A and B are shown apart, each in its own frame.
Chain A
Amino acid sequence: MTDQEIIQSIRNKKFDRAVRELYKHEPMIRRTLFKYGTPETLVPEIINDGLVLLLEKTQQPDFQLTSKLSTYLTGICLNHWRNQSRKLSNKEKVVLDIEIAQTYAFVDYDEEKEEKLQLLDTILEKIQDRCKQLLRLFYFENERMAEIAKKMGFSSEKSAKTQKYKCMEKAHQLAKKELKNLENPVA
């Protein structure tokens, strides 16, 4: 598959194929990550997170590919690792590199945003499974509220809607607290 074909299949939501195709670059990325000191145990997570970011970015209508897709993915993974490693280790002293930032500057990686998103990821872990399912169906699967109500056994579309907002409220509350901590870390 060419890079354009991969991007096209991502835009057609055929993630499965695209991911399998992209995974062919996994050894190369893995090596590069090792080069920059990523611990072995973290590599799969970094790569998967990188893939998620790539899927997300390529779906944006204004996305323009300025390099090979594999290079782009490597760049994302490295940036992601760099961001992660800032939180790493006193004990496991990590080789950090400004080189990453320089070499892969073309990758649009918003560190601040990514940090917030990781926080929200942990927050989403804290809310109820039912909430998670509801939000996923609505935002990711783009399903209509009526169908969601039916699928999840709500009495009416309206109660499903209310439930959704309650879930959101819970998430917002948690997020507000945590995001504040992020900006003003407790000394």
Chain B
Amino acid sequence: MRPELEQLAQIDSYVNNTLSAAESAAFEAEMAINPAMKEAVETQNLLITAVNRKALLAQVVAAAPATVMPPRDGSILSKFKWPIILSSVIVGAVISFFALRGDNEELQKSHDNIHANASNEPSESEGLRASREVDFTYIPANPDIVKTSRRQFGGLETWGAPELQQITIDPTQDELIECKDGTVIFVPEDAFVDANGNVIAEPVTLEIIEALTMDKIVAYNLATMNGDNALKSGGMVYVQPKLNGVNLELAEGKSLHIEVPTDEYDSDMQAWRGVPDGNGNLNWENPQAIENYLIPVAMSSLDFLPNGFREEVAATLPFKSYKTSSRELEDSLYFSLSIPSDYAGDDRKVEVTAPTNRGKTVITDKTGKVLESNTNTTEAPRQSNRKGLYRIDKRGKVQKGIGGVQFQNLPDRDDITATFNLKDKLYNTRIDSSVLKTDLLGFVSITLKSKDCAPYTINNVLVEEEKIVFVDCYDWGCGVQKNEEPCEKCYINPSDIFAIHQPEFEETFLATREFQERLQALHKIENAQPLFGLYINNLDKNLHEIDRQVADRLTGNDKRTFEEFAAEILTTVKPNGQEYAELKKFYSAKLNEQRQKTRKAQEAHAQKSAAELQAVQDEMAQLRFDFNQSQRLIQSKYAPKRSKGVSPPRGDFMSSPSSFQAPQQFQNTNPQVGQQAAYKVNWYGTGWMNIDGFLHELSKGKKQIPIHVADSKGMKVYQSVNSMNTLLTLNKTDEGYNAYFPTANSATFVKSLALGVSRSADGQLKVAAQFFNPYASSAITLNDWESVSEDEFKQRLKNLYPGGRRLLKAIKTEERLNQEAEERKRRAEEQRKKQEKELKALEDEFQKSNAQLEAKTEKIRMRQAAERSYMQHLEDFINPCHANYGKSSVVSRSTGGIVEFPDEEAQFPGGTVEFMRWISHNVQYPQGAMDAGVQGKIFVEFVVEPDGSASNVKISNSDPRTKLLEAEAVRLVQGMPPWKSGQMSGENVRTRCRIPIIFTLD
């Protein structure tokens, strides 16, 4: 071998420990004087480790579960070669840009989704967004429909063979089954035992029959009777677990959780057990109460926007540069209609300047005049302007913003000083804590009675230490007291809707389909804000109690609606039951699934109308382009300095006449989905179960109508009322079969049905049916007997009972939806015509005065007016009062025009490293935080303006634990030297930025 190789061999032997002690010592001696040798030994060690690692990795990859392993193509190193960011100073700061959507939570969500192998195909961006909201994918087990000729089930002999559903489940784990007609059955683990009481572990087959509609109830001979008492049915279900054809029983203490869907929730209903009488009939016995707790679903699967709002947006676009609708756009448009927190009319508008040092307060009005100051030191306080909604956390500290902390009780303070400004008068009053109320969202309100401002509910209160330093007189609760000023905004404040639509409320009744239904009803009611408040302020109460309170404050149809809600006697979210988690997943997944279907249908429709609109839009775009071009020409010629907001770099995007905010993520869903209620039962048994209630009207009655029938064997005569879902077997007397009715004329029974069914010995079915009015006839004869096959029999029944109530309701719903769609179409047409008209006007104007400099502002004003009118149109849409909305209703805030994906991100002069250096030089660790040992990471969000200044600075992860650090973080960001602003198409634009500032104590 070559000497080089000899040397390598020696190194290898040394590393592998195969040299003798003497050789080894000699080698080490040489290594000590030869650095190249030492280096080679090191390399050899590394090389061996690397070889081993490669082999190990191959094994790890082979052993890893297949689903989580994307192909590994090369090392990470080969893919990324970028400079280093690391900091170990006391305050470390790292930059992540909002535009990247580097939001951990969001990543988390998308991860969960992927991990669960979500089956929603994210075909387009919207789909992707929507699928991200799906926390999990739940694939319900669908039973097989088995054709059977059997007519014996649980001691019942049916006329026609029932539609039998079979499903095999693993009894050792919780299972959830969705049946064909919508019944949901939850089977807890180890629920089944054999006749000897042994728990079954082998796969168990469940036999299920649903009889939710009248035709099936008749076909299956399921009379709705409890002894002689007449019942009305909400649906019947047969569940029988079987192992190898042998019936199993429920283990002691185990129960099936069964939910039977219903369109009209009837609180009279109970769950009855079907007991066979030995002649192939069932008698319903042992009624058991229906559970009336609520099952919460994932908040993201609910939609709290007013019904139809999304469709309205989709139908009336374009708005600004948005031509097609998306959830984000709809959400942002809706939240843009939020009533600003300082909305109270100009005369009462105040702005607080609160210093970051505790105990010193300056209150100024909007003109800057100092209204009150308790600054008694000469040291100038570091000021940060705080304005808006405030909340107080459990320790009485002020939290800014909404969403997040829940505040239960105000600390006991009997004398709190309130300084507030009402109608330009400054008050300084001691306030009894009894008038101070905190709602669940942490907002404090005070009801004050004074001559000047009576009675106003004051909603925005800032409590600092023992003193309320700011109260904004804010008369949102308009409409409650009659002597108040006319209400300008009478819809529920969208920002409140946003606040409750947070996952943190998932364990409350807010996150239920039932609450969604109530909220949708509230959206239609004028001035429903206080009613809405009743719900969100009473999360610990039962839903029906609040329904009742709401109903008491309403009149007419609205009152009835909420009385009906109250009659459902729904309680509240049940503390974790065994079935709870599975059902929650199931319904959330269901809602999401439905939502996506609706979304797709909506998109299909939108595409169609978009095509129609396209021509107009193209024209408009072209005109805007020409217009902007000429603007620029004019400006470059005459106006060297570009005035902000007059000629935006990207045409219509920058100037923001309204408070329209660029789309932001808000999890939401489509309306009208999954609102169907269900009867919930924990069922301790197998076999037939019936959701029934007593039909008291019939028991009251004594009017007797005999039905005469030529006798035949195996015959039964029923009395039935379609509208009530009731089927009564009649007994034969000397006069015939006697049907009973209330003596007083009752509209319910005017259309009654006499029905005879018989089966002869050879199996031939015969049927006779006759409708009659018991108040117009004294006796009926059933003589029109017909021989029918089983299929014909079932078809006959379907004709007799056209789907029962369920179908009627569905038809009604469809009619209503069609009407709404028509209405929307009409409005869309109106909107389009309006736009065309405005376009025409714009065009005319443009052509006329192209050369005139004075005309340019006018045109932009027109366009802005068009946009404003669009927002007003939307506001009008959600406004149940439908009139009198304020003219400058939406306060302009400079949130528009933020470019989310600029060509070039904004950055600190000198880059990240400089930024960190700057932070560490300028940070002043708050003394209070230092004393309390508070450390943590504060995310600060802000907008980098085209001139490089930071605006809209806010804390994005407000947390009571790090509260003490927030002011300093904000101060730091506000005190930054100008940034290099973001760039888009070569122009400076507004960009969003989010940086974490880490405070660490040594």
State the majority secondary structure of interface residues on B. Answer: helix
Q: Which of B77, B84, B114 contacts A118 (CB 8 A)?
A: B77
Given A166-B5, A169-B5, the answer on whether A95 and B996 have CB atoms closer than 8 Å is yes
Q: How far is the CB of A182 from chain B (nearest CB, A)?
A: 11
Given contacts A19-B63, A95-B996, contact A121 B912 (CB under 8 A): no
Which residue of chain A has its CB nearest to the CB of B48?
A: A139
Complex contact A95–B102 (CB within 8 A): yes
B633 interface hit (Cβ, 8 Å)? no
Contacting chain A: which of B86-94, B282-290, B964-972?
B86-94
Chain B: which residue is nearest A101 at the CB level? B88
The answer on a CB contact under 8 Å between A44 and B69 is yes
Q: Contact between B76 and A37 (Cβ–Cβ < 8 Å)?
A: no
Contact partner of B64 (CB less than 8 A), chosen from A19, A41, A97, is A19
Is the CB–CB distance between A52 and B47 below 8 Å? no
B47 contacts A120, C-beta separation under 8 Å: yes
The answer to whether A171 and B912 touch across the interface, beta carbons within 8 angstroms, is no
B77:A98 contact, CB within 8 angstroms: no
A48 close to B110 (CB less than 8 A):
no
Chain A residues 65 to 107 lying within 8 A of chain B, measured CB to CB, are 84, 86-99, 101
B282 to chain A, nearest CB (A): 49
* B72 lies within 8 A of chain A by Cβ: yes
A138-176 near B? 1/0 per residue, CB < 8 Å? 011100000000000000000001100110110110011
Any chain B CB within 8 A of the CB of A62?
A: no
Contact B1 A23 (CB under 8 A): no
Interfacial chain A residues near B85, Cβ < 8 Å:
86, 93-94, 96
Given the contacts A34-B111, A87-B77, A117 and B96 also touching, CB distance less than 8 Å:
no
Closest Cβ of chain A to B389, distance in Å, is: 29
**Which A residues touch B48, using CB under 8 A?**
139
Q: Are A122 and B95 in contact (CB-based, < 8 A)?
A: no
User: What residue in chain B is nearest A50 (Cβ atoms)?
Assistant: B60
Is A56 in contact with chain B by the CB < 8 A criterion? yes
> Closest CB-CB distance, B796 to chain A, in whole Å?
56
Give chain B residues whose Cβ lies under 8 Å from the Cβ of A31.
108, 111
Query: Is B454 an interface position by the 8 A CB rule?
Result: no
* Chain A residues, CB < 8 A from B39: 176
Within 8 A of A (CB), among B37-67: 39-40, 43-44, 46-57, 59-65
Flag whether A61 is at the interface (Cβ < 8 A). no
Q: Which residues of chain B are within 8 angstroms of A141 by Cβ–Cβ distance?
A: 55
Q: Output the least CB separation between A2 and chain B (Å).
A: 19
Instruction: Say yes or no: is B83 at the interface (Cβ < 8 Å to chain A).
Output: yes
A82 to chain B, nearest CB (A): 8
Residue contact B12 to A168, C-beta cutoff 8 Å: yes
Inter-chain contacts of A23 with B (CB < 8 A): 63-65, 68
- Mark B1-28 against chain A: 1 for CB-CB distance below 8 A, else 0: 1001100110010000000000000000
Given known pairs A15-B56, A140-B51, A179-B43, the reply for A168 and B8 (CB within 8 Å) is yes
Task: Give, as a whole number of angstroms, the nearest-CB distance from B31 to chain A.
Answer: 15
Q: How extensive is the interface on chain A, given as a class?
A: 35 or more
**Please, how many angstroms separate the alpha-carbon atoms of A88 and B776 in the complex?**
88
Determine the chain A residues whose CB is within 8 A of the CB of B74 once the complex forms.
125
- Is A40 a contact partner of B75 (Cβ separation < 8 A)? no
Most chain B C-beta atoms within 10 Å of own C-beta, residue among A101, A121, A175: A121
Interface centre among A26, A56, A84, A90 (most CB of B within 10 A): A90
B72 and A48 contact, CB distance less than 8 A: yes
Complex Cα spacing A79 to B55, Å: 22
Q: Residues of B contacting A120 with CB < 8 Å? A: 43, 46-47, 49-50
User: Across the interface, do B63 and A117 meet the contact criterion of CB distance under 8 Å?
Assistant: no
Q: Does B70 contact A (CB under 8 A)?
A: yes
Proximity string of chain B (399-433) to chain A, C-beta cutoff 8 Å, 1 when within and 0 when not: 00000000000000000000000000000000000
Does B115 reach chain A (CB closer than 8 Å)? yes
Closest chain B residue to A115 by CB distance?
B77
Cross-chain contact of B5 among A98, A99, A118, A162 (Cβ < 8 A): A162
- The CA-CA distance from A165 to B60 in the complex, in Å, is 28
CA distance in complex: A169, B9 (Å): 10
Contact with B along A109-139 (1 / 0, CB 8 A): 0000100111111111100000010011001
Residue A108 at the chain B interface, CB threshold 8 Å = no
Report Cα–Cα, A141/B114, bound state, in Å.
37
Q: A92-B100, A116-B46, A121-B75 are in contact. List 11 more A-B contacts (CB 8 A).
A: A20-B63, A48-B61, A86-B85, A87-B77, A87-B80, A117-B49, A121-B77, A124-B54, A132-B54, A162-B5, A169-B8
A-B residue pairs in contact (CB < 8 Å), sample of 13: A23-B64, A23-B68, A87-B77, A90-B82, A95-B94, A98-B92, A117-B49, A121-B75, A141-B55, A165-B8, A168-B44, A172-B43, A175-B47
Interface pairs A-B: 4 shortest CB-CB: A19-B63, A120-B50, A140-B55, A165-B5
